[in-house]
Amino acid sequence: MKPARFLFAALTLVGAMDVASSQSADLSKGEYLARAANCIACHTMSEGVPYTGGLRMATPVGVIYSTNITPDAETGIGRYTLEDFDKAIRKGIAKDGHQLYPAMPYPSYSKISDEDIKSLYDFFLKEVKPVRQKNSAPEIAWPMNMRWPLSIWNAVMTETAPYVTNRDFDAEWNRGAYLVQGPGHCGACHTPRGIAQQEKAYDHRDPDFLSGAVIDNWSAPNLRGDANTGLGRWSEADVATYLKTGSSRFGSAFGTMHEVVAYSTQYMTDADTKAMAKYLKSIPSSATDHAQPVWVYNATVTNELKAGNTSRPGANTYVRQCASCHGMDGAGNANMPPLAGNPAILDKDPVSLIRVLLNGTATNANDDGPKVPNMPQFRSWLKDQEIADVVNFMRTSWGNRASASATSQRVNELRKATDVADDRSVILRMR
């Protein structure tokens, strides 16, 4: 996958913050942390050698490429000391002193503990195989290629304080908060950006934190307690299951979240995914959610479709192309995700649904849990207006009350900006 990601210590709770107490038996502590931080997703090209970099990333100022982080002395990080490594991970400063672009989520990684930084360093310098692979230079024109302004951006727009235990909550909650805010860097995608592309918030005390954001032509959904578009109707078990398998009774992973499950969260212990779920479920809903009626199933459209009434725009396309998998009632069949009440369908922005219809998705790449079949691409079969109509149909049927805001123009823009190979390549990278 080639995501265009443009954004982008003292830990005092002994045991609760220590990965060694709960890591997978198959992974060293450092490798477990590298999985939790999902380092491989950005630092590996499609079908490339892990951690050798080269992944193309489009930013608002130009194209950058991820770097080789194997312990090769010439092209990787083989000459990094622990102090050098720490500065790169938690402060965004390379060994030679240049500022890293914030596509590297160091604003989140700044919360990683000293002990976990040491474990990550030991993994990358001692366990990863060194590979000599030159790094690609950024494709950013002057004056935007100057890096020194990033030091000002960091000072003004980011927080550098390590995670500090919240004594109002138990060890499990704090463990989950640490993983979500720090190594998991969930806010890098799920928190909206400000005018300078900074994350608007870095923890749950700010209502913008994890309230959802559009990134790389995907809508990273709201992870707060909103009943319709967030996690309000999910149980802690639902959230933990989704993190482990990429699937729940509300829907299945797609887009960049697909690779988060594939490379990261499926490898985490049950204790850690439960802790993350506990923390996420403790975050209240956003202020705007209170004005929205909670989703309740409505059978009107189901009855119309079963009676052969396809007069609504998009209904005929839905019956012909979608109903065999997702049902006339939008409830989904077998392991197919539901459309009725699905937070991704109810999202305020239809961009993800449009993109999934255009390009399809690969099956969820996890070792456990239900196997959600491939979603086919419809860009070859359906015109822009047909896709816009069926998207709006799904967003306004079965009790769904999302806006009918998909347009043929938006579909056409996404058709040009995205492609099938990018949206379905995660399985190739897993193999």
DSSP string covering 346-412 = H-SSTHHHHHHHHH-BPPP--SSS--PPPBPP-TTTS-HHHHHHHHHHHHTSTT--------HHHHH
Q: Where are the alpha helices (DSSP H) in 99-204?
A: 106-109, 114-122, 149-157, 171-181, 187-190
Q: How far is CA 323 from CA 347, 407, 415, in A?
A: 21, 22, 23
Tell me the average pLDDT across 154-166.
86
Query: What stretch of H or E contains 82?
Result: helix 82-91
Residue 369 has pLDDT above 50, yes or no: yes
pLDDT > 70 fraction of the chain, expressed in percent and rounded: 89
| Whole-angstrom distance, CA of residue 427 vs CA of residue 113 | 32
DSSP one-letter code for 247: E
Q: Are residues 9 and 155 located together in one domain of the fold?
A: yes
Class of residue 231 by CB neighbours under 10 A (exposed 0-12, middle 13-18, buried 19+): buried
Residues of the domain holding 90: 1-164
What is the pLDDT at residue 155?
86
Q: Where are the alpha helices (DSSP H) in 92-233?
A: 106-109, 114-122, 149-157, 171-181, 187-190
| Whole-angstrom distance, CA of residue 342 vs CA of residue 321 | 19
Tens digits of residue pLDDT in 241-251: 999 999 899 99
Residue 9: which pLDDT band, with cuts at 50, 70 and 90?
Answer: very low
Residue 2 located in a structural domain: yes
Beta bridge partners of 247: 252
Angle CA 281–186–227, to nearest 5? 35
3 state SS of 47 = coil
pLDDT > 90 fraction of the chain, expressed in percent and rounded: 70
Q: How far is CA 193 from CA 150, 196, 202, 281, in A?
A: 16, 8, 11, 23
Judge whether 274 and 236 are in contact, CB under 8 Å: yes
Tens digits of residue pLDDT in 41-63: 999 987 789 999 999 887 777 88
Q: Are residues 157 and 300 located together in one domain of the fold?
A: no
Residue 1: which pLDDT band, with cuts at 50, 70 and 90?
Answer: very low
DSSP one-letter code for 69: -
Of the candidates 349, 370, 373, the one whose C-alpha atom is nearest the C-alpha of residue 361 is: 373
Last residue of a domain, one of 122, 140, 164: 164
Last residue of a domain, one of 103, 130, 164: 164
Q: Output the domain CATH number for residue 298.
A: 1.10.760.10
Q: State the pTM of this model.
A: 0.90
Residue 187 located in a structural domain: no
Residue 215 has pLDDT above 90, yes or no: no
Last residue of a domain, one of 164, 184, 208: 164
Least confident of 114-123, 294-303, 422-431: 422-431
Cβ neighbour number for residue 415 with a 10 Å cutoff: 16
Residue 273 located in a structural domain: no
Tell me the average pLDDT across 5-17.
31
Least confident of 24-28, 185-189, 383-387: 24-28
Query: What stretch of H or E contains 330?
Result: none
Q: What is the count of structural domains for the chain? A: 2
Judge whether 201 and 107 are in contact, CB under 8 Å: no
Residue 92 located in a structural domain: yes
Residues whose CB falls within 8 Å of the CB of residue 205, separated by 6 or more in sequence, listed in order: none
Please identify which residue in the block is written with the tokens 């409505």. Answer: 298
Residue 389 located in a structural domain: yes
| Whole-angstrom distance, CA of residue 70 vs CA of residue 352 | 34
Residues in the chain: 431
3 state SS of 178 = helix
Q: Are residues 157 and 8 located together in one domain of the fold?
A: yes
Residue 109 located in a structural domain: yes
Residue 400 located in a structural domain: yes
Tens digits of residue pLDDT in 255-286: 889 889 989 999 999 999 999 999 999 999 98
DSSP one-letter code for 306: H
3 state SS of 187 = helix
Residue 234: which pLDDT band, with cuts at 50, 70 and 90?
Answer: very high
Residue 278 located in a structural domain: no
Beta bridge partners of 53: 44
